[in-house]
Amino acid sequence: MAFINENYTKLPSSYLFSDIARKVTEFKTAHPDANIIRLGIGDVTKPLPPAIVEALHKAVDEMADASTFRGYGPEQGYDFLVNTIVENDYKALGLDISSDEIFVSDGSKSDTGNIGDILGLDNIVAITDPVYPVYVDTNVMAGRAGDLQANGKWSEIVYLPCTAENDFVPELPKEKVDIVYLCYPNNPTGTTLTKDQLKVWVDYALKNNVLILFDGAYEAFITEGDVPHSIYEIEGAKEVAIEFRSFSKTAGFTGTRCAYTVVPKALMGYTKSGEKVSLNKLWNRRHTTKFNGVPYIIQRAAEACYSPEGKKQVKDTINYYLTNAKIIREALSTQGLQVVGGINSPYIWVKTPNGMTSWQFFDYLLSELNIVGTPGVGFGPSGEGYLRLTAFGTLENTREAVSRLKKILI
């Protein structure tokens, strides 16, 4: 008899975005002529930049030649990519991150979900609310979350509400916690923390021996000067934080898959007897055991993001999406709706009108305006009464969506 991990049975029957896809499919089947504009799931629409495509082609040609063919590579990433990341993403900011603290992977979703493998089940986890669902669901799967309550919260998870009342800035936990997930620029709200606000968290973690799991997947969208591009810009962060970064939304790698995680060697975990253990060594052991590395051709493509041509082309793509975000944000504001995000982020977080629930507003936009958003409640209890829209559509579709949004009659 094969016993199951019964924690999986505690999860809701399907993933948020699967529910959205089902609803859209049902509507499309009933209304085949409807021109649906999808501003829900955060997939990109711009193709890979030319410099990246050129690097891909060159790497494929290398794989076709016996003299340059590559088989298994280092699980942590090839030196050419790791060293390029160190130089451009950290040394350029004056930060001392070494190559053996970088782990190349197939996505931040994977890494933020898998990081729990090296962390004990007795840890008390805190999350901002609303939050990227993967942080919660993977802790449910592991057995850290307890049971789902009637209020939509898990009994063993500490929730840190991010609402209009606190300007979407989470307050420090009042109870003891061991691990805190932070995502900035934030998914789903599109909001940010300034350096001073993030310093509050790093200082708290240092004082209370708390591990911060910092998801910086949207770092490249930052436009304001007082918003940190890395948590390691804050003094002491290397002793308390793991940082996750991605090429998906910045360079269009959602379909080619490449990201990286930084686990500083100064960062320690503890045995129950109080012995310090290097989390870098634990993650290296996990990474090399369960992962065979990102394909060579993909890593060459990621390296090309940092070439002079690649940097310009990636920046152009980001500016394209930020233009979309500005268009959506301004249009909704003109309609009298309350919105945040869309300045340092591709996400716009909009308050539903007239007390509608998140799903009611979702259904209205789909049925009446043929626009797909993401119900805020799907990101946690504090997301009720909000909807997330993304700027990852085409400019043409964004403008068309805005023209439709002007017809909101509720």
Positions at the binding site for pyridoxal 5'-phosphate: 72, 108-109, 132, 187, 218, 246-248, 257, 292
End-to-end CA distance of the chain: 56
Instruction: List C-alpha distances in Å: 380 to 23, 130, 310.
Output: 20, 5, 37
Instruction: List C-alpha distances in Å: 50 to 32, 129, 309, 317, 321.
Output: 35, 38, 9, 11, 18
- Residue 285 contacts by C-beta under 8 Å, 6 or more apart in sequence? none
8 A C-beta contact, residue 372 and residue 36:
yes
Reduced to 3 states (helix: H, G, I; strand: E, B; else coil), residue 283 is helix
Residues placed in the known binding site for substrate: 15, 42, 109, 132, 187, 292, 388
Residues placed in the known binding site: 15, 42, 72, 108-109, 132, 187, 218, 246-248, 257, 292, 388
* Cα 21 to Cα 18: distance, rounded to the nearest angstrom: 5
Q: Give bridge partners of residue 259 from the DSSP assignment.
A: 105, 246
* Cα 188 to Cα 238: distance, rounded to the nearest angstrom: 26
Exposure class string for 242-255: b at 16+ Cβ within 10 A, else e: bbbbbbbbbbbbbe
Omega before 381 within 30 of 0, i.e. cis:
no
Which CB contacts under 8 angstroms, 24+ apart, belong to 315-320? 316/49, 317/46, 317/49, 317/250, 317/251, 317/252, 318/220, 318/221, 318/250, 320/46, 320/395
* Cα 12 to Cα 266: distance, rounded to the nearest angstrom: 38
What the block records as the tokens of 244 is: 């996750």
* Cα 167 to Cα 165: distance, rounded to the nearest angstrom: 6
- Residue 197 contacts by C-beta under 8 Å, 6 or more apart in sequence? 169
